């Protein structure tokens, strides 16, 4: 089994185990130690993985980081762990303090689900405030697996990782910015494109009108790209399935061929994604369409629905999950009405934080 298959297998296992994890120690044992093993290190060999590694801070002695990956007696990667339900944002300062007291070039902050890798791109020996590489193990992408592989014991090379860290950091930041702009366009974003198409003076009223147009343009643009890729993929698949003789005919899969993701569903998804961005990383919000409704999911998991969009040509409704895990339908006349129900979406999200 190659590295990619091992990571994907581990990803599926994490999703199943997470419900049974209630402490930080359990997070370490069930999620983080197996992850370190996947990187090729022996978690039971202190010459490779040193638990409770001492990182004294000046006169403050006895400060310890959860794990240090070792090479030739020196730490090369510091790992600070938190319980899997904890938000990582408030905790990077702790790792920041440890970083400059050791010779480690890289640091990892994780709760067993989200992994954030740091280095010192801005100031030497001073950990950057923002990670250069991060991913969610349950929703890890192929390109992220390729980057993670660089930290495997067999491929670990400080110079190689450092050379790509800067590009990777800014690439991810630009992607996140684009994601936010597409979900909820800022005034600067809207002005930039409005100037290219609108000949008059851009007043506040004009700007508000173009915000709606810009949001629709973004979702339509994404929809077109997705449609084109699906079309290409189907053409390739159909070529693979071409009959060997003229008598053999291919019968399309009715259940999938009849599913059509509409522009309104995509816009609705982007609006809900924008709303939930106040509470959760937008990369964790996904859409999955079906014949009867379009589901908005957390972590692309069918067992973690947030709401369902029931959109037809004649009527629009949204079913929002309540604390009893029932979908309460609300009729809407306009997609912007979704913003009125933001607190209900927040309540649905809370169900998975319990």
What's the chain's length in residues?
354
- The structure's pTM equals 0.59
Average pLDDT of the residues in 14-19: 82
| Three-class SS of 291-331 | CCCEEEEECCCCCCEEEEEEECCCCEEEEEECCCCCEEEEE
**Better pLDDT: 258 or 335:** 335
Q: What percent of the chain has pLDDT over 90?
A: 36
* Nearest CA-CA partner of 318 in 299, 301, 334, 338: 338
Pairing of strands 114-118, 106-110: antiparallel
Q: Over range 68-95, report the average pLDDT.
A: 85
Residue 56 pLDDT: 63
How many Å apart are CA 164 and CA 132, to the nearest integer? 9
> 317, 295, 315: which is closest to 307 by C-alpha?
295
Nearest to 116 by CA among 98, 103, 138, 132: 132
Structure tokens at 66: 């959860």
pLDDT tens digits, residue range 270-280?
889 888 888 88
Bridge-based pairing of strands 74-81 and 106-110 is parallel
22-26, 108-112, 176-180, 229-233: segment of lowest average pLDDT: 229-233
Please write the tens of the pLDDT for every residue from 193-231.
Answer: 999 888 889 999 999 989 888 888 887 777 777 666 656
| Cα dist from 154 to 132, 150, 157, 174, 278, whole Å | 21, 8, 9, 31, 40
């Amino acid at each position: 089994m190659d590295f990619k298959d091992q990571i994907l297998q581990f990803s599926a296992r994490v999703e199943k185990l997470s419900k049974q994890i209630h402490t930080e120690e359990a997070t370490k044992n069930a999620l983080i130690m197996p992850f370190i093993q996947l990187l090729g290190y022996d978690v039971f060999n202190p010459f490779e993985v040193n638990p409770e590694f001492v990182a004294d801070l000046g006169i403050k002695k006895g400060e310890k980081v959860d794990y240090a990956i070792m090479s030739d007696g020196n730490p090369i990667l510091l790992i600070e762990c938190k319980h899997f339900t904890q938000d990582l944002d408030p905790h990077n300062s702790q790792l920041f303090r440890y970083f400059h007291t050791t010779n480690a070039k890289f640091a990892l902050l994780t709760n067993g689900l989200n992994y954030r890798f740091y280095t010192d791109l801005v100031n030497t020996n001073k950990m950057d405030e923002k990670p250069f590489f991060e991913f969610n193990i349950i929703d890890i992408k192929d390109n992220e697996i390729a980057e993670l592989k660089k930290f495997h014991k067999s491929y670990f090379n400080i110079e190689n990782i450092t050379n790509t860290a800067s590009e990777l950091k800014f690439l991810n930041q630009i992607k996140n910015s684009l994601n936010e702009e597409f979900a909820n366009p800022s005034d600067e974003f809207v002005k930039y494109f409005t100037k290219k198409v609108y000949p008059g003076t851009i007043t506040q009223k004009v700007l508000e009108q173009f915000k709606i147009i810009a949001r629709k343009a973004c979702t339509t643009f994404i929809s077109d790209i997705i449609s084109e890729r699906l079309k290409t993929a189907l053409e390739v698949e159909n070529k693979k399935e071409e009959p060997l003789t003229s008598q053999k005919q291919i019968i399309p899969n009715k259940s999938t061929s009849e599913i059509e993701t509409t522009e309104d569903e995509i816009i609705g998804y982007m609006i809900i994604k924008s709303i939930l961005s106040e509470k959760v990383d937008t990369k964790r919000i996904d859409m999955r369409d079906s014949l009867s409704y379009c589901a908005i999911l957390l972590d692309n998991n069918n067992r973690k629905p947030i709401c369902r969009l029931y959109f037809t040509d004649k009527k629009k409704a949204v079913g929002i999950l309540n604390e009893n895990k029932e979908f309460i339908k609300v009729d809407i006349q306009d997609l912007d009405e979704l913003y009125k129900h933001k607190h209900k979406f927040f309540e649905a999200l809370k169900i998975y934080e319990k």
